[in-house]
Amino acid sequence: MDRIRIVGGNRLSGTIPISGAKNAALPLMIASLLTRETLSLENVPHLADVEQLIRILGNHGVDYSVNGRRPSQGKSYSRTVNFTATNIVDTTAPYDLVSKMRASFWVIGPLLARMGEAKVSLPGGCAIGTRPVDLFIEGLQALGADINVEAGYVLAKSTKGLRGNRYRFPKISVGATHVLMMAATLARGETVLENAACEPEIVNLAECLNAMGAKISGAGTPTITIEGVDELHGAKVRVIPDRIETGTYAMAVAMTGGDVLLEGARADLLENALDTIARTGAEITVTNEGIRVYRNGAGIEPVDVTTGPYPGFPTDLQAQFMGLMTMAKGRSHITETIFENRFMHVQELARLGAHISLSGQTAIVEGVTKLKGAPVMATDLRASVSLVIAGLAAEGETIVNRVYHLDRGFERLEEKLSNCGAVIERISE
C-alpha cells in the first residue's frame, strides 16, 4: 500500500496547476446517461474516483474514449473524455461498485428518467457521517417515481415517465440537487426545486445539461426551474477548476510560507475561503493566470471558522484549515455544521504535536510553535491532505499512510508540491 513521505521545513515557491474539479466531473459524467449521443468533457482530472465512475458507467453500457482512444494515463494534468450511452444495457448499479463511492448512487436519476427504472445499491464512500439518501427518494417520489428499498437496494420505477412538480428540500443537499435536476430534464412539464444547493458544481452541471438541450434556469440560487424536454443531445463541456484543491494549496502556502501561483484557479468559486485564508496573514492576489498566494516569515494568525453550504466556508476545506491553525499564534475555533463525524483527523494531527480539543461539533485549536514529524494515518479524503499540510511544516519526517484516500481527490499532489520545493515523495510497496 502506497505511503507519502514528507520532510518538513521548506517554503513553497513556483506554480501549481489546478486540476478540474472532482465534485463537478462526477455529476457531469453521470449526465451522459441522459442521451444517446456523445458527451465530451474537457479538463477531467486523473483521480481514483473518476476511474471508478468510468467502470460503473461502463456497467450500464456507456462507452468512453480519451481524446478518441483508450491509452494509459498521460502526463498532462487534464484530459478530454468522451462518454457515449447509445444503449443502456443494464439499469442495475450493484453493491460491489456503488459501495466504493457515494456519488455513484446518483445514476438513479438519469436511469429513472431515461429508462423508467433503476435498481441502485445504497451508497458507500468516506466514513464522515451517515449522509442518508432520504432526500433523493422523497424528491424522486415527488416527480412521480415509485420507490422501494429492499435488501440494500433502492428500486425505482416510473412506467409512465416522470412528471414535473414543485419540491422543497427539507435541508440543503448538493447530491440530491444534482440528481433531481438531472431527472427533471426529461420529466413532463415544469419542475421547481426550492432550497436547492447553490454550489458552483451545481451551476457547472446546469450549464452542461443546457448545452445538451435542457431548459434550466436559476442554478446557483436556492430556486431552480427545469422545463422538461423530450430528449437531450450530445455536447462539449469544460469541467470547472477544483475550488477545494485551490483552497488546499493556498493553505499549504499559508502554512509553510512562500510564493505560489495557483494556475487556472478561479477566485469567484471560493471567495469565503480565500477571505478566511487572508485573515491568517497570507496575501491573496487574483491575476489573469490564476491566484497568487504569498506569505513571508510572519506568524499565522488564529481565525475562527464555521462550515456552511455555499457560499459559506466549505466543509471540504475544514480539515485543511485545522491543519493550518495548529501553528497559529493563539486559539481558534472550528465548527462543523455539515457532517456529524468529520473530526477524525484530530487524533492524527495530535500525533504531530497539535493541541486540539473537541466540544460537540467545535474543535478548539491551541496553536503551537512547532510540530514534529511522525507516522500518521489518513481516515478520509480531506483528512488525508490536512496531514500533508501539517507535515510540510513539521520538523523531521512525516509518513502518511492509507494515501488511497488522497488519490480519490487530489491529482498527483506529491508531484505538484515537490515542483515547488517541498520534500515529498510517494513510497510504493
Domains and CATH numbers, the chain: 3-15+242-427 (3.65.10.10), 23-204+232-238 (3.65.10.10)
pLDDT given at position 76: 62
Q: Of 368, 303, 359, nearest to 336 (Cα)?
A: 359
What pTM, to 2 d.p., does this model score? 0.95
Three cell numbers written together for 96: 460491489
Residue 129 pLDDT exceeds 80: no
Residue 341 pLDDT exceeds 90: no
Q: Give the C-alpha separation, 346 to 37, whole Å.
A: 47
Report the binding-site residues. Answer: 22-23, 102, 131-135, 316, 338
CB 62 within 8 A of CB 85: yes
CB 124 within 8 A of CB 97: no
Distances (CA, A) of 157 to 87, 147, 176, 275: 19, 7, 18, 46
Q: Give every CB contact of residue 234 below 8 A, 6+ residues apart in sequence.
A: 35, 37, 38, 39, 40, 212
The residue-averaged pLDDT of 410-421 equals: 96
Q: Which of 76-85, 125-134, 267-276, 413-422 has the lowest mean pLDDT?
A: 125-134
Handedness of CA 67, 185, 155, 102 (dihedral sign): positive
- The 8-class DSSP code of residue 102 comes to G
Q: Regarding predicted confidence, which is higher, 323 or 67?
A: 323
CB neighbours of residue 298 within 10 Å: 10
pLDDT given at position 124: 57
pLDDT given at position 126: 42
- pLDDT tens column, 188-229: 999 999 999 999 999 999 999 999 999 999 999 999 999 999
R_g of the chain, CA atoms, integer Å: 21
CB neighbours of residue 289 within 10 Å: 12
Residues annotated as catalytic (active site), given as ranges: 126
**Confidence grade of residue 56 (pLDDT, cut at 50, 70, 90):** very high
- β-pair type (3-7, 397-401): antiparallel
pLDDT given at position 74: 47
Buried b / exposed e over 188-217, threshold 16 CB at 10 Å, is eeebbbeebbbbbbbbbbbbbbbbbbbebe
Report the binding-site residues for UDP-N-acetyl-alpha-D-glucosamine. Answer: 102, 131-135, 316, 338
**Directed axis angle between helix 271-279 and helix 243-256, to 10°?**
10
Handedness of CA 150, 49, 137, 308 (dihedral sign): positive
The H or E element that residue 48 is part of is: helix 48-60
pLDDT given at position 381: 81
| Average confidence score pLDDT of the chain | 94
Q: Which of 55-64, 93-102, 117-126, 164-173 has the lowest mean pLDDT?
A: 117-126
**Confidence grade of residue 323 (pLDDT, cut at 50, 70, 90):** very high
- pLDDT tens column, 343-374: 989 999 999 999 999 999 999 999 999 999 99
Residue 335 pLDDT exceeds 70: yes
Answer left, alpha or beta for residue 169, where phi above 0 means left and psi between -120 and 50 means alpha. beta
The DSSP result for 279-300, as a single string, is HTT-EEEE-SSEEEEEE-SPPB
Distance of CA 62 to the CA centre of its chain: 23
The residue-averaged pLDDT of 77-81 equals: 86
**Confidence grade of residue 69 (pLDDT, cut at 50, 70, 90):** very low
Residue 109 pLDDT exceeds 80: yes
